Amino acid sequence: MSVLAAIAVLAVLIIVHELGHFLAARWQGIHVNRFSIGFGPILLKYQGAETEYAVRAFPLGGFVGFPDDDPDSTIPEDDPNLLRNRPLLDRAIVISAGVIANLIFAYLVLVLQIGSTGVPEGFNTEPGIEIPQVVSVESPAARAGLQAGDVILSIDGQSLGEGEDAIWAFKHAVENNPERELSLSVRRPTQENGTQEYQNLSLSVIPEIGADGNGRIGVQLAPHGDPVYRRPNGIGEVVALAAERFQSIFVTTLQGFYRLITQFSETAGQLAGPVGIVAQGADAAQRDAVNLLVFAAVVSINLAIINILPLPALDGGQLAFLLVEGLRGKPVPVHIQDGVMQSGLLFLLGLGIFLIVRDTTQLEWVQQLTR
């Protein structure tokens, strides 16, 4: 069920993104002839008065189609409501609306999450530290068998204690022992017949040497325990706290993309495809609904930032063409746009297939089958 929940979240985010394009076009009276979730052969479709609504076989995205690109369209080429015949600003609004929709949706999800769970007011700490995320399938932590949700109780036979002190003790041990095997005592939550159980494990990890010369294993760390919430003091506090959390996630995501670009050889392993994202979402859903809502907000912001990058076949690539058109006073020739977009699409499809294969081979049940 947790995997289905994660897939449902991704489907909703895709629909939100494409609805942004669709509604921005309809709001301006621009013709839209297709609204599709997924790519490839059509599984289900409904023909509206002007638009065909469809669900397709490969749920790796979606698209909004315009008659401008349809050779069978009966709309005259000089129709002022064709997308290509509208002013630059109108087209820019349509192209950027998907990104804006994802950002608005992420903020509203955070409002819902805070409004339903309450305002964090403290933490009931327990012994050990929790691993919210293993940042890369190629990291020392992943190779050692650590998973998101694991609780590390001791390192090299030394109990970690609890709270922030436990985190600092663990970081100190890892950073000061690069390329040396460290034994970990780990407690892993499991689901047995619908009830929460725990499995005690003994794992070994060898920290790699980071750019600063210190050891690192590639995990996020958090205190182990349960947060304490209080009822919000009105909707104003919920809105303000959601804005702070949204800003934090947005800035952290931008920093992550900056590191990916400037330190690609070190951070490329952190890229995740659809399989990896679903696996992370399933882990979040397995813990509780609050984590699933945060997962939805984080992925929605990531989707917005990725799409606004000036890369071919993405919204940012189309906006880049509009910018060039505005500077030179006429559109970039169609054959150049088509060539760049098709090359970009092939690259993204190839990258997507690579990430799917890589992430699938890293799934625990696949690794067990191949042992």
Instruction: Please list, in sequence order, all residues whose beta carbon lies within 8 angstroms of the beta carbon of residue 162, skipping any fewer than 6 positions away.
Output: 125, 126, 127, 128, 223, 224, 225
* Strand extents, DSSP E, the chain: 34-47, 52-65, 119-130, 151-155, 158-159, 182-192, 195-205, 208-209, 215-216, 222-230
Catalytic residue at 18?
yes
Q: Which domains, from first to last, does the chain contain?
A: 88-118+231-313 (no CATH), 123-228 (2.30.42.10)
- Confidence at residue 132, expressed as pLDDT on a 0 to 100 scale: 81
Spot the catalytic one: 18, 164, 181, 266: 18
Instruction: Please list, in sequence order, all residues whose beta carbon lies within 8 angstroms of the beta carbon of residue 168, skipping any fewer than 6 positions away.
Output: none
Coil/strand/helix, residue 216: strand
Per-residue tens of pLDDT for the chain, all 371 residues:
466 766 777 888 889 999 999 999 999 999 999 999 888 889 999 998 889 999 988 777 788 889 887 877 888 888 899 988 899 999 999 999 999 999 999 999 999 988 888 887 777 788 889 888 787 777 899 889 888 888 999 998 888 888 888 889 999 999 999 889 999 999 988 766 666 678 888 999 999 988 778 889 988 888 887 778 888 888 998 999 999 989 988 888 887 777 666 655 554 455 554 444 544 545 554 555 667 788 888 888 888 888 888 877 788 888 888 888 888 888 777 777 667 666 656 655 555 444 444 444 444 433 433 34
In angstroms, the CA 46 to CA 134 distance is: 42
Rg (alpha carbons) of the chain, rounded to whole number: 24
Instruction: Please list, in sequence order, all residues whose beta carbon lies within 8 angstroms of the beta carbon of residue 4, skipping any fewer than 6 positions away.
Output: none
- Confidence at residue 136, expressed as pLDDT on a 0 to 100 scale: 74
Measured CA to CA in angstroms, residue 41 lies from 54, 57, 117, 156, 258 at distances of 10, 5, 41, 55, 37
- Confidence at residue 16, expressed as pLDDT on a 0 to 100 scale: 92
> 269: which DSSP letter?
G
Percent helix, strand, coil in the chain, to 5, is 55, 25, 25
Instruction: Please list, in sequence order, all residues whose beta carbon lies within 8 angstroms of the beta carbon of residue 6, skipping any fewer than 6 positions away.
Output: 277, 278, 279, 280, 281, 282, 284, 285, 292, 295
Q: Which of 44, 53, 46 is CA-nearest to residue 26?
A: 53
Of the chain, the end-to-end C-alpha distance in Å amounts to: 26
